Amino acid sequence: MLRQSLEHIDHKSALQILCKAEQRQKLTVPFLHLETAIALMHSKLLDKSTSPRAGIHPGDTVILTGKSGSGKTFLITRLISSHGVYINLDQHSTGSLPTTHHFRPRTDLDLLQLIYSLEKWFYDNGSVDWVMIDGDWHDNETDNDRGLKWTLIEKAKALQSTWPFALVYTSRTLVVGAHADYRFECYKQHQAVCMKLIPPFSSSHPYSANEMDTLITTIDG
């Protein structure tokens, strides 16, 4: 109720203060093992006096990497367990996504309009728990210009300071300079889709073989 009132009066500084409070609330995900993997990763980064942080929270950024056909779209659509925005850049069929606002830009102009209207969309429609950006765009990327998809991602990241949502996007490879709180490598194994949490290079403690297995979440396809 408080957030709805602040959104209505368009008081950005107040929204940012409220956003910081809401970022402490863990989002619901349908894969319980994923929370265990995240808690393990944080236990390797933090000293023993600090409680490990489990789960995905508003304000987090998550990258799902993997080759074409590795199950990224399958996973990203199943992560949306509550109110969200799904931006489909590949035009592939995803079936029904309940409680989700679905955008499917077809041209560069469509995508540019989405980028520049996204902030107004949040003011008009209010908060969501998730923003999912799925697929690759067809423009040519260079070392100096990473293309419209990355412009969209940076826009979404900027909006996270005002609206508390988790940003999840897919990529075939890890882009140099791309920041994320969590990166998962996606692949298929037999009839299942797997997502392996990739620990950051800053991990202060080594992982045992059993712990490395704990970083893998397996979902039946």
In this prediction, residue 113 carries a pLDDT of 96
Task: Give the architecture-level CATH label for domain 2-220.
Answer: 3-Layer(aba) Sandwich (3.40)
In a 10 Å sphere around its CB, with 0-12 CB exposed, 13-18 middle and 19+ buried, how is residue 171 labelled?
buried
Per-residue model confidence as pLDDT tens digits over 22-76? 445 788 787 878 888 888 888 777 655 555 567 899 999 999 999 999 999 888 8
> What span, in angstroms and rounded, lies between the C-alpha atoms of 69 and 84?
24
> What span, in angstroms and rounded, lies between the C-alpha atoms of 133 and 112?
14
Rounded to an integer, the average pLDDT of 197-202 is 76
Task: Please state, rounded to an integer, the average pLDDT across all residues of the chain.
Answer: 80
Q: Where are the domains of the chain?
A: 2-220
In this prediction, residue 90 carries a pLDDT of 85
Structure-token pair, residue 168 = 């999840």
In this prediction, residue 2 carries a pLDDT of 46
- The pTM (predicted TM-score) of the whole model is 0.82
pLDDT > 70 in the chain, percent: 74
Enumerate residues 6+ apart whose C-beta is below 8 A from 195. Answer: 34, 64, 71, 75, 184, 185, 186, 216, 217, 219
Structure-token pair, residue 142 = 């260079």
> What span, in angstroms and rounded, lies between the C-alpha atoms of 191 and 170?
21
How does residue 16 score in pLDDT terms, banded at 50, 70 and 90? low
Number of helices followed by number of strands (H, E) in the chain: 7, 8
In this prediction, residue 23 carries a pLDDT of 47
Could you tell me where the DSSP H helices lie in the chain? Answer: 2-9, 12-22, 32-45, 72-79, 108-125, 148-159, 209-214
Q: What is the CA radius of gyration of the chain?
A: 18
> What span, in angstroms and rounded, lies between the C-alpha atoms of 13 and 19?
10
- The DSSP line for 115-135 is HHHHHHHHHHH---SEEEEES
92, 78 contact by CB (below 8 A): no
Nearest to 29 by CA among 196, 217, 205, 221: 217
